[in-house]
Each structure stands twice: as structure tokens, then as C-alpha cells.
Amino acid sequence: STFYERYHRLEDIYDWLNRTAHDNPRTVKTILVGSSHEKRPLYALKLSFSDRPNRKAMWIDCGIHAREWISPAFCLWFVHHVSTVKVEITDILNNMDVYVLPVMNPDGYKYTWTTNRMWRKNRAPSHNPKCVGVDLNRNFDANWCTEGALPYPCSEIYCGAFPESEPESRAVADFLREHKDSIQLYISIHSYSQMLLFPYSCTVEEAGNHNDLLEMVQEAARKIRTFYRSTYKYGAGAKTIYLAPGGSDDWAYDLGIKYSFTFELQDRGEYGFLLPPSRIGNACNEALTAVKTIALKVMEKT
Ligand code: 0X9
Ligand code: ZN
């Protein structure tokens, strides 16, 4: 198997980031977005095939939840695919810069390799020494800590002490606020359950451009079915998966990034978070199909 068909330890991902930027100096740059609770850097890659300023852009983050290993694997797969230039993706890159944050929760990711494979949250301590970690996807300021999140540090869906209390979520929120005029498309990669979700998850109300968003994920799911014979559910988060406030997608949407998505990659529960490496290629190609389909549609609309 190739490098991209395996899961990698955090240190190896950091090495890969450096190597990728170093090997593609004209198109790939590293950006330090912030640092984690345990002071690990949050590096994003900026992929750009043009020097024109004020270009439109998209953002993809991976690894909000530590145990969802297919998610960072997808970010690496995506960057590799883009930098080994394939035709359709060139169309996208000629029009948009792409920011990719491969591991938004490095402390948690590290912990899944060393101590507890099923860890989800970050690694920030609470007042209770037995209970560690905030769910970063409940920590954004979108109906924060209402139904679908909990105010208890021992919970797997702990929302944190206040919105953006965590350095990881604040760093991403700060970056998106600073770049909100250029970023038109936000995608957050999770697993598992094979779903293409869009706002809202924090309320059962429909987003203003619900029908546009629905059309995009429907087309993406159709292509995945045609090319890979896999079924993806799609729709607004609250009605497709569950009510869950404080998520990055809803927050980005309310910030003004009107094309905002969360993808839940393979599988549908057979292996769950423990998706075997032999399935990485297929899972990533499905997600790549969805990213391309949606990015092209966003280009048509904006
Ligand atoms: O619950 C989540 O954060 C995501 N599912 S996961 O199994 N990967 O934990 C779904 C996120 C959907 N979007 C929002 N809740 N905003
Ligand atoms: Zn997740």
C-alpha cells in the first residue's frame, strides 16, 4: 500500500506537512493557524495555483474528533490528489485557493495512538481531575450548549465552559473570521455513517438556501452511488443525524459562509471508527467525489 493508504501517527503527519510544502514551493504553503491546549501547532496548508490576490477560497478541516482516523487520512489524500494535478480539480484550483487543516485536534489524535483508541474530545483538563476534554464540535457559538450538547466535563459531548473556550476551536473561528470575505465553501470531515450534512444541526429550522444545499449533496451522493456503489444519506443535520448545537458547520454558515457542510465518511457501522486501512482508498475517493461536485457547483453559483 502507498503512504496515503495507511493511517499515520501525529509526528508523521507533521513531517508530511513539511515535506509537502517543501516539495511544492510554488503551490503549497504552511500556515500556523494556532496551537492546541498542549501547545502543539495547528498547521493548515494553503494550496494555490495562482498569484492573483483576493481569490475565492474553500476551507477543509479534518480530525476535529480524535478517533475518526479516516478524517485526517482524507485531508492527506486530498492534498496529494490536488498536488499531483488531475483535470477536474485543476478547474477548481484555477478559481479557488484551498485551505486544508489535516488535524484540528492534535492532542486527542495523539492520545488515540498512545492511550485510548476511542478518544473523541480534545485533552483540556476540567475542575474534575477524572474528566478531561471538550467536544470541539459542540464548542462553537451556534446555539451553544442547548439540546444535543451537555455542560458536564465527563460527557462525550461536553460543550466547554463558554463558546470558543478551547484554543483549537478559537483558532479555526479566528481564521475563518479573518478570511470570511474570500472563503465561500466550508467542509468539515468526520466519520462514520456515510452522510453529507449541511446546516442546521443546532435547530430544526431550515437554512435560507436549504434547497441549494440539498441539490448539491443530492448530486454528490448520486455520483458516489454511480462511481463507487456506496449509499450516502444527505440533508440538514438536525433532521438527518441528530440535533447537535455548537458545531463548526453551523457557526461557519452563520458567519456568512453559505456553502457549509459536514461529511461523515465510511463506513455504516461494520468497523465504525476502526475502518481498516484497506478501505482508506475507497472512502477517500468517495469523499473526493463529493468535494469536487460541490466545489464545482459553488463556482457556478458565485
Ligand atoms: O456529532 C457530531 O459532531 C458529528 N457526528 S460524529 O459522529 N462525527 O461525532 C455530526 C456533526 C454535524 N454537524 C453539527 N452538529 N453541527
Ligand atoms: Zn466527528
Contact 36 CB / ligand 1 (< 6 Å): no
> Looking at 68, 168, 264, 286, which residue is catalytic?
264
Q: What is the pLDDT of residue 52?
A: 76
Q: What is the pLDDT of residue 85?
A: 63
SS3 for 158?
A: strand
Contact 65 CB / ligand 1 (< 6 Å): yes
Q: What is the pLDDT of residue 134?
A: 99
Q: How many domains is the chain partitioned into structurally?
A: 1
User: pLDDT, tens digit, for every residue of 140-153?
Assistant: 999 999 999 999 99
Can you name the residues that pair with 132 across neighbouring β-strands? 125
- Domain enclosing residue 191, as ranges: 3-301
Contact 143 CB / ligand 1 (< 6 Å): no
Nearest-angstrom CA–CA distance, 256 and 181: 9
* φ and ψ at residue 267, rounded to 5 degrees: -110, -155
SS3 for 30?
A: strand
Name the nearest CA neighbour of 108 among 162, 158, 60. Answer: 158
Distance in Å, CA 263 to ligand 1 centroid: 9
Contact 260 CB / ligand 1 (< 6 Å): no
Atom number of ligand 1 nearest to Cα 238: 15
* Catalytic site includes residue 68: no
Q: What is the pLDDT of residue 88?
A: 60
Q: What is the pLDDT of residue 199?
A: 98
Measured by CA distance, the residue closest to atom 1 of ligand 1 is 244
Can you name the residues that pair with 57 across neighbouring β-strands? 97, 183
Residue 268 per-residue DSSP state: S
Here the CATH number for the domain that contains residue 178 is 3.40.630.10
Distance in Å, CA 150 to ligand 1 centroid: 14
Q: What is the pLDDT of residue 50?
A: 79
Is the CB of residue 101 less than 8 Å from the CB of residue 113?
Answer: no
Distance in Å, CA 68 to ligand 2 centroid: 6
Q: What is the pLDDT of residue 49?
A: 84
- Tell me which residues of the chain have a pLDDT lower than 70: 85-90
Enter the pTM of the model.
Answer: 0.98
Q: What is the pLDDT of residue 76?
A: 98
